[in-house]
Structures are given as structure tokens and as C-alpha cells.
Amino acid sequence: MTSKYERANASDGQSRIPDIVIGRLPIYLRSLKILLSQGQTVTNSQELGDRLGISSAQIRKDLSHFGEFGKQGTGYDVAYLCKQLEKILQVDCIWPVVLVGAGNLGHALASYAGFENRGFRIVGVFDNQPDKIGTHVGSLQVEPLTQLPAHVARHHCRIAILAVPTKAAQNVANLLVEIGIKSILCYAPITLNLPEGIRVEYIDPVIHFQHMTYYLEKDCLKT
């Protein structure tokens, strides 16, 4: 579905940076931006690691894939490292995102104010139920699914949020791919089957719960 290594290291055309490293960068960025908002100007791999529960060596090695951002003896300039990470992740801009499914979850997402200052904006909300269409969610109005292709084309959307019922998810995902979406954040509790080159990430709280319960002392309600 998604090849793990797609982008070359800037300094070496051959080498690829492990996806697991890329996956940690947004965590670093999130923490750095909190430091920045608190007025801290300098940090170091130890401090950042302590905050995140990651070893300092891990952080240094991850960053070293992309360049030298720190100063020996001092650490990292918070604002500078933020900027660099935003550039690496390509979030030094605002990506337009379409949201499909204007149900309970869709409403929460559409009215969420925390996307914009981290690089994303929901530019359209779509549903196939007549009674949903025209209703307001956040600052947007729900549009019919038939408008989705034109909307994606007009806004050059490459990212979609899938917040439809499980039974509709695969079909809607197929449609999204057909009209040019490259990355899907899927909230439906199902693994989608999509062509190579389409990246799908999943959010399913129950997966997290079931992971947690493995480690808990059993003390739950009998069924």
C-alpha cells in the first residue's frame, strides 16, 4: 500500500531515511513548539528526550539524518530547530484537507481549531445523507458527495479524512483515490485495501484500549 522509503536524504541521493525516524519528527516538533510558546530559546537532546521518554542519543541520531542543527556545548536553538523540522516535514505551509463524513466525529474535527497552526486546514466537508447537506459544521457547510471531485481538484487536495461508517469506508476510500487523494487518515475501524503509493494512517481508539488491557490486572465486568 505504501512503500516505506520514498524520499531521499538531501545530502545523499542513494540513502533513504527510515520511516520510523520520520514518524518521530512530528513528536519532536510538537514538543519544541510548546517550549517555544513558553519562551524557552534553547534546549538540548537530553531535555527533549526527558520530556518525550526517548533517549538523547536517539534524538541526536534522528536529527543527524537531515543536517547539523545543534551547537556543541549549548544544544539547539528552539525556534531554528522548529523551522528546520517544519521544512523537512513540509509543514511550513498550509495543506488543504477534505473531510468525508459529517457525523459526530466529523463535527468535532471540522470545528477543531488546532489544525491551522500546525500546517492543515479543512477546506470542505462532505456527506451523502440529504439531511446533513447544508448544515453547518465549524465554519463550513456540508456539501453533497457529488461535489467532492470538483472540490478536491479546485483546492489541489492530496489529503483526506475518512469519518464515515465502517461499511462505507472502503468504497469512499476508492473514490478518494480515483479523484487524486494521496494520503488518507481513516477513523473507521477497518484496514483499507488501496493501491501502492496511497498512504493510509489509522486512528482507532479501541486498538489502543486493547493494547492497554493486555498489561492491566484483570478486574473488569463479566459479560
Ligand X SMILES: NC(=O)c1ccc[n+]([C@@H]2O[C@H](COP(=O)([O-])OP(=O)(O)OC[C@H]3O[C@@H](n4cnc5c(N)ncnc54)[C@H](O)[C@@H]3O)[C@@H](O)[C@H]2O)c1
Partner DNA sequence: ATACATTTGTGCTAAAATACACAATGGAAT
Partner DNA sequence: ATTCCATTGTGTATTTTAGCACAAATGTAT
List residues binding ligand X (CB under 6 A).
Answer: 100-106, 108-109, 112, 114, 127-129, 132, 145, 163-166, 168, 172, 187-189, 205
Q: Is residue 53 near its own copies by the rule CB under 8 A?
A: yes
Q: Is residue 74 near DNA by the rule CB under 7 A?
A: yes
Q: Which stretch binds its own copies (CB under 8 A): 7-15, 69-77, 128-136, 140-148?
A: 7-15
DSSP assignments along 118-133, one per residue: GTEEEEEEEES-TTTT
Find the binder of DNA among 30, 61, 136, 156 (CB under 7 A): 61
Span 147-186, contacts to its own copies by CB under 8 A: 156, 158-159, 161, 182-183, 185
**201/164 Cα distance (integer angstroms):** 15
**140/134 Cα distance (integer angstroms):** 9
Looking at the DSSP bridge assignments, the partners of residue 200 are: 184
Task: Please provide residue 145's backbone torsions phi and psi, each rounded to the nearest 5 degrees.
Answer: -55, -30
Q: Is residue 69 near its own copies by the rule CB under 8 A?
A: no
Q: In what order do the strands lie in the sheet with 75-77?
A: 42-43, 75-77, 70-71
For cell 446533513, the residue is 132
Q: Is residue 8 helix, strand or coil? A: strand
Q: Is residue 46 near DNA by the rule CB under 7 A?
A: yes
Cell numbers standing for residue 76: 539547539
Q: Is residue 140 near its own copies by the rule CB under 8 A?
A: no
In the bound state with ligand X, the residue whose beta carbon lies nearer, of 44 and 183, is 183
Q: Is residue 76 near DNA by the rule CB under 7 A?
A: yes
- For the chain, the maximum distance between any two Cα atoms, rounded to a whole number of angstroms, is 62
Q: Is residue 13 near its own copies by the rule CB under 8 A?
A: no
Q: How many CB atoms lie within 10 A of CB 158?
A: 15
Q: Is residue 84 near DNA by the rule CB under 7 A?
A: no
Cell numbers standing for residue 11: 545530502
**88/10 Cα distance (integer angstroms):** 10
Span 1-30, contacts to DNA by CB under 7 A: 1-2, 18-21
Q: Is residue 108 near its own copies by the rule CB under 8 A?
A: yes
In the bound state with ligand X, the residue whose beta carbon lies nearer, of 81 and 99, is 99
In the bound state with its own copies, the residue whose beta carbon lies nearer, of 72 and 113, is 113
In the bound state with DNA, the residue whose beta carbon lies nearer, of 67 and 134, is 67
Q: Considering CB distances under 5 to 8 angstroms, the limit depending on partner class, which of DNA, its own copies, ligand X, none binds residue 8?
A: its own copies
